[in-house]
């Protein structure tokens, strides 16, 4: 390769800019770290929590604000983490949820396609029904969300892929589905996994008796690992000569499988060193009258990522928590 071509390739590598939406959130913070660590210029957007940060305040339900952020930051890549991702909150505010989970990614995709920006849209395993016997799900498996959160995230996927297709820019819009996440948190309630630490502590301290789900299967995946995969996907798609032939939907998941009760047991007995005998396993499954029905098993196949040569290994669940507890104690 001639020297000047090599230099301009290296300059491109060194001048890469990513814009992360939802940078104030549980996953977004780690995505920021993963790209910063790899020497990218990193910009982030948040909404209610931007004060005291370097992130831009962008209301993603306002297309004008998205346009302004893209034109100010001029990223090559956008990682779209912002969403309403609490199933119960989605049910309480369907209209607001559709605005952020469907209309916002559509606007973002349209504007990114116009500017030839690669968009990685973070989605969820809840796009699947999770009926017993169906998992593991390949990326092209039949979807069938069981609740409004999953439906709006699936509609967001379609919106993103449709906008890139309409603009003739297929290959620049990529969906990355992930399961329930754990990792570094500002507060344990940020994560459906981290919060179980609080349940274990409360049961231990107050003698409270707690019933914990021992029916649905979960594959807790670390936000640091997801963030690293976002970076690797960005590089792979930016550098691909034949981008249009790459898959539009990717899936990443840990292979660690637990019910929530089993997570409490591991956190209590193997990490915190306390008994969980006040936490009782509940094997009843969904209450058929509940408005939010949760899937039984949405295990995601990582085959498409592996075919791209992207590392799908993950941190060890217990090992991560033991390290985190040590950091917490010091």
Ligand X SMILES: NC(=O)c1ccc[n+]([C@@H]2O[C@H](COP(=O)([O-])OP(=O)(O)OC[C@H]3O[C@@H](n4cnc5c(N)ncnc54)[C@H](OP(=O)(O)O)[C@@H]3O)[C@@H](O)[C@H]2O)c1
Least distance (Å) from ligand X to the CB of residue 22? Answer: 3
Q: Which of 20, 73, 77, 82 binds ligand X (CB under 6 A)?
A: 82
132-171 positions binding ligand X, by CB under 6 A: 153
Q: Is 83 in the site for ligand X (CB under 6 A)?
A: yes
Decide the pairing of beta strands 210-213 and 221-222. Answer: unpaired
Given the complex with ligand X, which of 280 and 324 has the nearer CB atom? 324
> Among 1, 4, 5, 48, which residue sits at the site for ligand X (rule: CB under 6 A)?
48
Residue 68 in the binding site for ligand X (CB under 6 A): no
d(CA 18, CA 112): 12
313 binds ligand X (CB under 6 A): no
Q: Which stretch binds ligand X (CB under 6 A): 11-19, 175-183, 250-258, 305-313?
A: 175-183
Of 117, 135, 93, residue with least CA distance to 257: 135
φ, ψ for residue 220, nearest 5 deg: -55, 130
Euclidean distance between CA atoms 194 and 190, whole angstroms: 7
Stretch that binds ligand X, among 25-33, 228-236, 263-271, 311-319 (CB under 6 A): 25-33
Q: Rule CB under 6 A: say whether 217 interacts with ligand X.
A: no
Residue from 90, 181, 197, 264 binding ligand X (CB under 6 A): 181
Beta strands in the chain (DSSP E): 17-21, 41-46, 56-57, 77-80, 118-124, 173-178, 181-182, 210-213, 221-222, 249-251, 279-282
Annotated catalytic sites, by residue? 149
95 lies in the binding site for ligand X (CB under 6 A)? no
Of residues 193 and 276, the one with the C-beta less far from ligand X: 193
Residue 220's SS3 state is coil
> Least distance to ligand X from the beta carbon of 90, Å?
10
Q: Is 254 in the site for ligand X (CB under 6 A)?
A: no
Question: Does 241 help bind ligand X (rule: CB under 6 A)?
Answer: no
Answer for the pair 154, 127: CB distance below 8 angstroms, yes or no.
yes
The candidate with the shortest Cα–Cα distance to 192, out of 201, 181, 203, 202, is 181
Provide the 8-state DSSP code for 291.
Answer: S
The Cα–Cα gap between 263 and 243 comes to 40
Are 43 and 17 in contact by the 8 Å Cβ rule? The answer is yes
Scanning 78-86, 210-218, 249-257, 298-306 for contacts with ligand X by CB under 6 A, the matching segment is 78-86
Q: Which of residues 100-129 bind ligand X (CB under 6 A)?
A: 100, 122, 124
Minimum Å gap between C-beta 273 and ligand X is: 26
Nearest residue relative to ligand X (C-beta): 25
Shortest separation between residue 76's beta carbon and ligand X, angstroms = 21
Question: By C-beta, is 22 or 130 nearer to ligand X?
Answer: 22
Kindly provide the b/e burial profile for residues 33-47, where b requires at least 16 CB atoms within 10 angstroms of the residue's own CB: bbbeebebbbbbbbb
Q: What is the DSSP string of 54-115?
A: S-EE--TT-HHHHHHHHHHH--SEEEE------HHHHHH-HHHHHIIIIIHHHHHHHHHHHT
Instruction: Determine if 56 is a binding residue for ligand X (CB under 6 A).
Output: no
Among 180, 196, 227, 250, binds ligand X (CB under 6 A): 180
Binding region for ligand X (CB under 6 A):
22, 24-28, 46-50, 58-61, 81-83, 85, 100, 122, 124, 153, 178, 180-181, 190-192
């Amino acid at each position: 390769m001639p020297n000047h071509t090599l230099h301009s390739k290296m300059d491109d590598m060194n001048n890469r800019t990513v814009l992360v939406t939802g940078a104030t959130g549980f996953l977004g913070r780690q995505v920021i770290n993963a790209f910063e660590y790899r020497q990218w210029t990193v910009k982030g957007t948040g909404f209610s929590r931007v004060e005291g940060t370097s992130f831009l305040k962008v209301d993603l339900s306002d297309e004008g604000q998205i346009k302004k952020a893209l034109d100010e930051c001029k990223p090559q890549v956008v990682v779209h983490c912002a969403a309403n991702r609490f199933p119960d909150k989605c049910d309480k505010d369907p209209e607001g949820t559709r605005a952020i989970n469907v209309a916002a990614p559509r606007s973002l995709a349209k504007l990114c396609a116009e500017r030839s920006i690669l968009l990685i849209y973070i989605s969820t395993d809840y796009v699947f029904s999770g009926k017993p016997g169906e998992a593991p799900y390949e990326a092209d498996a039949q979807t069938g969300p069981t609740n409004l959160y999953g439906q709006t995230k699936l509609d967001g996927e379609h919106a993103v892929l449709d906008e890139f297709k309409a603009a003739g820019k297929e290959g620049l819009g990529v969906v990355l589905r992930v399961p329930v996440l754990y990792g570094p948190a500002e507060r344990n309630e940020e994560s459906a996994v981290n919060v179980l630490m609080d349940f274990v502590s409360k049961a231990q301290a107050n003698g409270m008796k707690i019933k914990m789900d021992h029916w649905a299967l979960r594959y807790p995946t670390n936000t640091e690992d997801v963030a690293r995969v976002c970076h690797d996907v960005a590089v792979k798609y930016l550098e691909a000569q034949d981008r249009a032939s790459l898959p539009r939907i990717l899936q990443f998941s840990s292979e660690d499988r637990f019910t929530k009760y089993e997570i409490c047991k591991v956190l209590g007995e193997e990490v915190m060193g306390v008994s969980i005998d006040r936490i009782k396993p509940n094997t009843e499954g969904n209450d058929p009258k509940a408005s939010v029905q949760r899937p039984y098993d949405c295990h995601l196949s990582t085959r498409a990522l592996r075919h791209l040569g992207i590392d799908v290994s993950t941190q060890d669940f217990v090992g991560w928590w033991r390290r985190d507890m040590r950091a917490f104690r010091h």
